[in-house]
Amino acid sequence: MAQDDPAAFDAMLAELAERRQEFREQRYVPGDFVDRLKRLGLYRCATPERFGGETMPPAEFLKKIERISAVDGSTGWVASFGSQLVYLGSLPLETQAKLYAGGPDVVFAGALFPIQRATPTERGFLVNGRWKFASGCMAADIVCVGIPGDDLTSGKPRGALIRPQRLEIVQDWDVVGMRGTGSFDLIAEDVEVDREWTFIRGGEPVVDEPLYRYPAITYVAQSLSVVSAGVARAALDFAEGAGSGRDSITGAPKLADRAYYRAGIAEAEAALRSARAYFYEAADEAWETLVAGDLVSDEQNAHLRLSAAHLARTASEVVHKVVSLSGTAAIYQDHPLPALLGDALVPQEHAFLSPAMYDAAGAVLMGLPPTVPAFR
């Protein structure tokens, strides 16, 4: 296991730089590269320690995802799902033991919405329907689809865990950003799922470990948000390197010789670093609280959600600013910035990172209930 091997991580990034266009063209990160991410420990860092997991503090995991995303946002997005095993902490321990029976490196993918019909059976549910946005499903060991809740779930939808071989994957992902995430549709036809293989997203965990006391939905929101920080970092690194590049075809000064370019890139640099600092400050504070034996407060959770939404929005604005300052070179398809622009657009559009998070966080900080569901 190379979880703490910087050389192995750097070697992975070097291979990713060579293959990212391949992933974008085929529209998913293939199994052989996901296996490489497994060997780096990214898919066991949220597995319960009782089942062989090697807990990684959230900020440490998020920084790894950020570095991957600076090379390729799509791969960072798929790797970020290593955090999502915390969702499964509410499964019965017997079910978790079966899930991790082959080892702690389990790749989870989800397509919870739209909620589709499920007919109760003696053992569980007969599932039918089509779900969207199953990022990473092509290399997943287990996937989740959304089915209706009932009295036992207080009306919240259930996630039903199914081996991907029992589903049809429809490769319909045709988008301008995060093209390599493989966020395909899933189709189930009369697939029976035992009740003990269903869970409530954000439900009370039965695993008593610090990471499983970290707010699960919040951690997933952070994991998706930090992808945008990596993408923005790539855009700024390119802009700062390209500033002293070729002369303008019109004879105008090089970009670095233009005051508006220097000032604009510096302003973008400050904006990204400020949002990033708030993001990691909130993550570190929450983790320290848990390690000390206390629970993350509602106010701390509000800062986690607010900093995640703010980072995603700021990162997108940074990339847009870089493009707007870069002249006509950036309008060509073979230029690096258009792909980064598309990638930066996607995280802020996720429901977990939408503008509604500002209102919800503000409400909590003022002593009111959150204004959106699934805030914690």
Confidence band, pLDDT 50/70/90 cuts, at residue 352: very high
Q: How confident is the model at residue 2 (pLDDT cuts 50, 70, 90)?
A: low
Instruction: Inform me whether the pLDDT recorded for 151 exceeds 50.
Output: yes
Q: Are residues 41 and 163 in the same domain?
A: no
φ, ψ (nearest 5 deg) of residue 46:
-120, 5
pTM for the full predicted model = 0.95
Residues 224 and 357 sit within 8 Å (Cβ to Cβ): no
375 within some domain: no
Looking at residue 3, its pLDDT comes to: 67
Same domain for 112 and 95, yes or no, is no
Domain boundary among 99, 132, 166: 99
Range 65-73 average pLDDT: 98
According to DSSP, the residues that pair with 125 across neighbouring strands are 120, 193
DSSP 3-state assignment of 126? strand
Residue pair 357/305 in contact by the 8 Å Cβ criterion: yes
| Selection from 321, 257, 309 nearest residue 278 by Cα | 309
3-class SS of residue 207: coil
Average the pLDDT over each of 1-10, 176-185, 218-227 and give the range with the smallest value: 1-10
Q: What is the DSSP letter of 343?
A: H
In-domain check, residue 75: yes
Q: Looking at residue 28, what is its pLDDT?
A: 98
**In this model, does residue 321 exceed pLDDT 90?**
yes
Q: Which residue has the tokens 């703010």?
A: 310
Q: Give pLDDT, residue 154.
A: 78
pLDDT above 90 coverage of the chain, percent = 87
pLDDT tens per residue across span 193-237: 999 999 988 788 999 999 999 999 999 999 999 999 999 999 999
Q: Are residues 282 and 351 in the same domain?
A: yes
Show the CA angle centred on residue 61, arms to residues 347 and 376, nearest 5°.
Answer: 60
Mean pLDDT taken over the chain: 95
- pLDDT exceeds 50 at position 249: no
Q: Are residues 169 and 296 in the same domain?
A: no
In which band, very low, low, confident or very high, does the pLDDT at 1 lie, cut at 50, 70 and 90? low
Which pLDDT belongs to residue 110?
86
The domain that holds 243 is classified in CATH as 1.20.140.10
Provide φ and ψ at 163, rounded to 5°: -70, 135
Residues 336 and 271 in one domain: yes
Asked which of 200, 225, 253 is the last residue of a domain, the reply is 200
| Confidence class for position 251, pLDDT limits 50, 70, 90 | low
Question: Cα torsion for 120, 123, 126, 132, to the nearest 10°?
Answer: 100
Where are the extended beta strands (E) located within the chain? 108-111, 118-120, 124-134, 142-147, 158-162, 168-170, 184-194, 198-200
Q: What is the pLDDT of residue 18?
A: 98
Predicted local distance difference test score (pLDDT) of residue 197: 98
Residue 245 has pLDDT above 50, yes or no: yes
Side chain identity, residue 13: L
Domain boundary among 99, 117, 152: 99
User: Within a domain: residue 338?
Assistant: yes
- In a shared domain, residues 91 and 154: no
Facing residues of 345 across strands?
none
Angle 59-314-225 from CA coordinates, rounded to 5°: 40
Q: Mean pLDDT throughout 274-301?
A: 98
Q: What is the CATH number of the domain that holds 85?
A: 1.10.540.10
Segments forming the whole domain that contains residue 357: 214-365
Extract the tokens encoding 27. 């529209």
Residue with tokens 């974008």: 24
Question: How many of the other CB atoms lie within 10 Å of CB of 156?
Answer: 16
Query: Is residue 343 within 8 Å of 177, Cβ to Cβ?
Result: yes
Cα distance from N-terminal residue to C-terminal residue, the chain: 32
We report the CATH number of the domain holding residue 156 as 2.40.110.10
Q: Are residues 187 and 219 in the same domain?
A: no
Let me know if 206 is exposed, middle or buried by CB neighbors in 10 A (0-12, 13-18, 19+): middle
Which residue, 124, 116, 106, is CA-closest to 145? 116
Between 201 and 181, the higher pLDDT residue: 181
Mean pLDDT for 178-192 is 97
**Together in a domain, 160 and 231:** no
